[in-house]
Amino acid sequence: MTWEIIFVLALLVFAVVSFITEKVSADVTALIVFAVILASGTFIESDAFPTLSATLGVFGNHAPLTVAGMFIVSAALTKTGAVDLITGVFRFLIKLPLPIFMFCMIMVVAAMSAFINNTPVVVVLLPVMLGIAREMGTHASRFLIPLSYASIFGGTCTLIGTSTNLIGSGILSDYGYEPIGMYEISRIGVPILFIGAIYLVIFSGKLIPKRETISSILSDDERKEFITEAFVRNGSPLIGEALDDSGLLKERHLRILEIVRNGIAVPGNPRKIKLAAGDRLVLSCRPSGVIEAHETDGIELLGEVEVGLEQIAAEEGALVEGMVAPQSPIVGKTLQELAFRQRFRMVVVAVHRKGQNLRSQLDSLRLQDGDTLLLMGSNQAIERLRSQDEIILLDRPRTPAANMRRKMPFAIAITAGLVAAASLNIMPIVAATTIAVVLFLLTGCLKPKDAYASVEWSILIIIYGMLALGQAMDVSGASALIANSASNGIQAVAPVTWQPILILAMVYLVTSIFTEFLSNNAAVALMAPIAIGLGVSLGIDPRPLVIAICIAGSASFATPIGYQTNTYVYGVGGYKFSDFARIGIPLNILYFVTSVVLIPRIWPF
């Protein structure tokens, strides 16, 4: 074993451990790996280590560019309301019996996810499924895990259904093999789609517990909150004192939303601001709190002030659930840093994250992608928030702007052209995707800034970082060492006829495990070069091995963190971590057995 191999394997171990422990984000881990390889290639003069120019050559792989283009395609379809057309289908299907509805829902979602990124499909349908659950008198948890799984099923049905397929195809092409065709993977994707759908129809009701959404943690009394305004009168003992110091909020069960001074909301934490005469306090309180506010020395409800101030009646505060949107600019910031109350005129009552409902010290909690927030505010504030992109409200589906809806035919036609060009091999998928992006911009389906914002750059960084690591493993001989060791072990314990099947099963299982705890893109980028090396070592066609890796890289069912759509429904549905394992592990096993049986028959070794 050479020092180059040891060095690259150490980088691999670092990447895997960092992905699992999440001390730093996955994209930062990939960037560190990429930087180390670049720096090493600059100073190391060795034929067994990629040079600087060779490492930079990974940018020539067309898969990441295609992935970026597909993000923009999905954004254009979402922005123009094309994805929302699916909601009309569900309004019709709701009349069907529950098992039939479930099967049809899975098929419709899978069909959409086969051609566009599954994240916007799930995000758009979350409020739809919550509404349908209410209409059908069942728990939303009954539908949300199947919704996420259905989007994953669809991703395995076409080349563009998921980024992992594009990465596997790109790596095959880099090694001199034919890339995966547009519908080539459908030969295994469609059968397992039907098998997965039947499994969910039969067992989801038995294996998915009845979970409540985050609003269920409030008592009936807590739900009945009012928004009112009070006025700090002249001579009040509260003048010059902060509300936190006064004890007023704690004793009177009031919440301060904001302080308005001279007609302008005072920036900063309203609990820490020293009050002045004439300040208007926007308060949230229970019905009894209105009476308590009335009895508080030094403040008066605005309805009681007769001279010099606008009279505003107390109105009932509305509760609404919202999810931190994908790539939202508020991710990573605390409510205090965001000045959330002042910015959105709403208060966060609770946060659901990773199976837990959080209600204390919320101001210092850093928001994460997929967090579900229980929000309270006036109807006017809710409608204002609905028109913004930071938080997706879950009470009803979003309605695209009328001027964007007029662009919908262009978006659908351009996407259809992209699919046709890729299906008929008129041009490479990367060229078709790039042309589609240009047409979206020229027709006004998407503004340039929205197009750039729709790309999940962290995923591209992960892909490039892992492609560089895979290249370093190949050049150094680390991939060959792993492949030879694995093939020698298989050859020692199994007859020749069984060796390819066992290798196929092994690469599927390893990729599946990686996918549950690492990024699925990282899992495929790492495993595909090893699979090709295994094929060469055994003298078999590596294509079925790469196909198995693509399927395993998408089939993430056992945890809520292995796939982004699982993470979103995790919070919204009020699930626990174990809920995914209960229904997802049998589904993982079902996918594994079906793939190992069918793939060699479709793609002979």
State the angle between helix axes of 429-442 and 62-79 in degrees (0 to 180), rounded to the nearest 10: 40
Do the strands 315-316 and 254-261 form a parallel or antiparallel pair, or are they unpaired? unpaired
DSSP bridge partners of 66: none
Closest by CA to 202, choosing from 568, 590, 595, 575, is 590
Contact 172, 180 (CB under 8 A): yes
CB 269 within 8 A of CB 340: no
Residue type, 54: A
Given the structure tokens 């069942």, which residue do they identify?
A: 138
Domain boundaries, the chain: 226-316, 318-397
Does residue 77 sit in helix, strand or coil? helix
Spatial neighbors of 194 by CB under 8 A, at least 6 apart, are none
Instruction: Measure CA of the first residue to CA of the last residue in the chain; give whole Å.
Output: 30
Calpha distance 301→280 (Å, rounded): 9
pLDDT of residue 191: 95
CA distance 221 to 13: 53
Q: Does 276 have pLDDT greater than 80?
A: yes
pLDDT digits (tens, 9 = 90+) for 339-350: 787 788 777 877
Instruction: Count Cβ atoms below 10 Å from residue 481 Cβ, excluding itself.
Output: 18
Which residues are CB-contacts of 287 (< 8 A; sequence separation ≥ 6)? Answer: 224, 226
Pair of tokens at residue 354: 């990773």
Note the pLDDT of residue 314: 42
DSSP 514-526: HHHHS-HHHHHHH
> Which of the four pLDDT bands, split at 50, 70 and 90, describes residue 514?
confident
Is the torsion defined by CA of 483, 486, 491, 495 positive or negative? Answer: negative
- CB neighbours of 476 closer than 8 A, spacing ≥ 6? 2, 4, 5, 7, 8, 48, 49
What tokens were used for 577? 């971590």
Average pLDDT of the chain to the nearest whole number: 82
H or E segment and range at residue 65 = helix 62-79
Say which residue, 107 or 425, is predicted with more confidence. 107
| CATH architecture of structural domain 226-316 | 2-Layer Sandwich (3.30)
Alpha-carbon Rg for the chain, nearest whole angstrom, is: 27
Q: Of 421, 445, 451, which is closest to residue 433 (Cα–Cα)?
A: 421
Phi, psi at residue 398, to the nearest 5°?
Answer: -75, 150
Return the DSSP state at 238.
T
Looking up tokens 């990729």 gives 511
User: Rounded CA gap, 132 and 138, in Å?
Assistant: 9
Name the least confident of 116-130, 252-266, 495-509, 574-588: 252-266
Indicate the residue type of 522: A
- Statement: residue 53 has pLDDT above 70: yes
Q: How confident is the model at residue 142 (pLDDT cuts 50, 70, 90)?
A: confident
Whether 226-316 shares its CATH topology with 318-397 is answered: yes
Residue 170 burial (C-beta neighbours within 10 Å; 0-12, 13-18, 19+): buried
Q: Which residue has the higher pLDDT, 267 or 462?
A: 462
pLDDT tens-place string over residues 318-334: 678 888 887 788 888 88
DSSP per residue, 186-230 = HHHHHHHHHHHHHHHHHHHHHHS-----GGGGS-HHHH--EEEEE
Q: What is the pLDDT of residue 308?
A: 30
Is the separation of the CB atoms in 5 and 476 below 8 Å? yes
Q: How confident is the model at residue 16 (pLDDT cuts 50, 70, 90)?
A: confident
pLDDT-based confidence at residue 286 (cuts at 50, 70, 90): low
What one-letter code names the amino acid at 389?
A: D
Dihedral of the alpha carbons of 512, 514, 519, 520, in degrees to the nearest 10: -20
**d(Cα 468, Cα 73) in Å, to the nearest integer?**
27
548 CB neighbour count, 10 Å cutoff: 29
Alpha helices, DSSP H, located in 562-603: 564-572, 577-602
The second-level CATH assignment, the architecture, of 318-397 is 2-Layer Sandwich (3.30)
CA distance 499 to 506: 10
The CA angle 381-383-384, to the nearest 5 degrees, is 65
Q: Which of 8-17, 113-122, 385-394, 421-430 has the lowest mean pLDDT?
A: 385-394
**Dihedral Cα 445, 78, 87, 355, nearest 10 deg:** -170
Mean pLDDT of 136-148: 87
- 402 CB burial (10 A radius; 0-12, 13-18, 19+): exposed
Size of the chain in residues: 605
**Cα separation, 187 vs 598, whole angstroms:** 9
- Render pLDDT for 399-442 as a digit per residue (tens, 0 to 9): 666 677 888 999 999 999 999 998 888 898 999 999 999 999 99
Q: Residue 532 corresponds to which tokens in the numbers above?
A: 């090709």
